[in-house]
A = this chain, B = another copy of it.
Amino acid sequence: MRASQLLIPTLRETPAEAEVISHKLLLRAGYIRRSAAGVYTYLPLAQRVLSKIKRIVREEMDRQGGQEILMPIMQPAELWQESGRWDVYGPELFRLKDRHGRDFALGPTHEEIITALVKSELSSYKQLPLLLYQIQNKYRDERRPRFGLLRGREFIMKDLYSFDADEAGLDITYRKMYDAYVRIFQRCGLRFRPVEADSGAIGGSDTHEFMVLAESGEALVVFCQNENCSYAANVEKAQSSELPKPVAELLPLEEAHTPGQKTIAQISKYLGLPESGLIKTLFYETESEVVAALVRGDHDVNEIKLQRVIDCARLELASEAIVTKLTGAPLGFAGPIGLKNVLVIADYEVSVMVNAVTGANKADYHYKNVCPGRDFKAGKIADIRFVKAGEPCPVCGGVLAEAKGIEVGQVFKLGDKYSKSLEATFQDENGKTRHYVMGCYGIGVSRTMAAAIEQHNDLNGITWPAAIAPFHLVIVPVNVKDQALMDISEVLYRSFLESGVEVVLDDRPERPGVKFKDADLVGYPLRLTVGKKFLEEGLLELRERRSGKTHFLKEEEILSFIKDFIKSGMAL
């Protein structure tokens, strides 16, 4: 394509609306434009990147036996009512009525449609496993759409649904998809980690999230630094391991006057003890009770783990009024000793503490030398805290590290949740009627594009991995009025096109500086400058966008260099 004809509306200023780097660069480099909050138009460059990501996704889905289909975006409410999700999905589900007043949803996901389809079209174990996928728009009415393509309301997803005869079959399919995802993100040229995740409210059992590692990521993951260990988990899911047990003589319980000392930091300082010597007491309300959660002073309560331990639907911090009523003391002086009518849940690490400090349930007083077991009894002892970098790996005992990531994919064992609610069954080899065992596997296609930018950018713009860059190369003649430069540029342009190189000829009557800036901003992996050096010495300057490496090459050397470069960028 010729730049003069391509719609690449680059901007000199960063639009005020953009908070994260991918959003800023997608706007500035002319990839997307906003139509409404969380709703975007993908301009030609973005469309090219998306089509490359889609192609990689399709190839890897097909390789694993996936069959591509296309399901409706407009889904009849009846199916959602049958699965029970119409009422529970809440305001994130876009709903509309047709001219006859019938209710529809704009699909945020397609479990209902696909389960109903397979229910009516399949009947025998012989047709299993069945893997069906699609790539298309999804809808989610986010309360606060933001970060550009990272949290939109209309976005592009690949979703595959698997149907197996039993759990063993699902295990195999799940592994296939896991492997396909690894290949996909590798082929896209991204640094990523598959991490164990919590299956949350959707039900189901195993699930992994695929995280593109980037400092700007909203998600925190921990992973084992041991090269031979593959343990990695979403921090919400990451299991804690036993820490070294404190060994000390049990001292007698003692009341300490701590006037105005309410926070862990204050008390630690005031009593001259490390924060790890304190016990934090937090009260939570569920739909049916109030509980007290105890973690070490230097640890944080992981509410997802706590919710699983309690097995409740709702969990939130109790109000000050409730805490005061239960403890008889102002906030900051609560502790487990003497608490009544409250289930006390202690983290494992709390249960092995000796001579700890807790609130005394009395204004301006704490207890010292608290020994769990001796001075109070927890109703439950469980893993209810966040794991932190530096702790031991729960698998190999190595040292855990932390990283920030952007979730771009998730694989999920659904089990029989939907096949049961929608009564989708088949006959097994013994003629017995059974429910399908399902899995679902999503990739955020538009989000992957944004995540790639979060990971690959510098001060001047985007530094695309070659495999998903919109073009491979831009040719920049430094002066479009110089016929000799334009002639050789045209010759090169045509020969590259014929060789399958995706090339842009920047034929705009702009100064070289403007063109170089745009080339860096857009992120062409290679830039070929056609200038004086060619006229004088017959050399062309080929610059690698990401490394900044510059090569001076003769005309006849260029094509093979470019091809090698592209090939190495496409390598799995």
Contacts and interface: CB of A to CB of B under 8 A. Distances in A.
Interface of A: 1, 4-7, 9, 33, 35-36, 39-44, 46-48, 50-51, 65, 67-76, 91-92, 94-96, 98-99, 102, 104, 106, 113, 117, 120-122, 126-127, 130, 132, 136-137, 139, 141, 143, 153-154
A528 to B, nearest CB: 22
B99 A143 contact: yes
Given A7-B132, A67-B7, A99-B143, A72 B121 contact: no
A50 B69 CA distance: 10
Nearest to A51: B68
A153 B136 CA distance: 17
A33 B117 contact: yes
Contacts of A70: 41-42, 46-47, 50
A42 to B, nearest CB: 4
A96 B98 CA distance: 10
Of A67, A91, A130, A141, most B-chain CB atoms within 10 Å: A67
B69 A36 contact: no
Given A104-B36, A121-B9, A69 B47 contact: yes
A39 B72 contact: yes
Contacts of A40: 72
A332 to B, nearest CB: 38
A113 B41 contact: yes
If over half of A's interface residues share one DSSP class (helix, strand or loop), that class is named, otherwise mixed; here it is: mixed
A51 B51 CA distance: 13
Contacts of A50: 70
Given A69-B47, A99-B143, A141-B98, A74 B7 contact: no
B96 A94 contact: yes
A73 B73 contact: yes
A149 to B, nearest CB: 12
A65 B5 contact: yes
Contacts of A154: 72-74
Of A7, A126, A127, most B-chain CB atoms within 10 Å: A7
A139 B74 contact: yes
15 contacts: A5-B65, A5-B67, A9-B121, A33-B121, A35-B72, A36-B102, A39-B74, A39-B76, A41-B69, A41-B70, A41-B72, A48-B68, A50-B70, A74-B139, A91-B99
Contact of A47 (B44, B68, B113, B137): B68
A215 to B, nearest CB: 29
A342 to B, nearest CB: 37
Contact of A71 (B41, B65, B132): B41
A76 B35 contact: yes
A113 to B, nearest CB: 6
A71 B7 CA distance: 14
Given A41-B72, A47-B69, 10 more contacts: A4-B127, A5-B130, A36-B72, A39-B76, A40-B72, A41-B69, A44-B68, A44-B69, A47-B68, A47-B70
Contacts of A120: 33
A35 B143 contact: no
A6 B67 contact: yes
Contacts of A141: 98-99
Contacts of A91: 99
Nearest to A79: B35
Contacts of A72: 35-36, 39-41, 154
A48 B395 CA distance: 45
A348 B47 CA distance: 54
Contact of A67 (B41, B44, B104): B44
A44 B66 CA distance: 10
A242 B99 CA distance: 46
A309 B281 CA distance: 85
B65 A43 contact: no
A62 to B, nearest CB: 9
A143 B98 CA distance: 10
Contacts of A71: 35, 41-42
Contacts of A99: 91-92, 141, 143
A16 to B, nearest CB: 16
Of A1, A9, A70, A92, most B-chain CB atoms within 10 Å: A70
Contacts of A35: 71-72, 74-76, 113
A138 to B, nearest CB: 11
Of A42, A46, A120, most B-chain CB atoms within 10 Å: A42
> 9 closest Cβ contacts across the A-B interface?
A96-B96, A42-B70, A9-B121, A36-B76, A44-B67, A91-B99, A39-B72, A41-B71, A35-B72
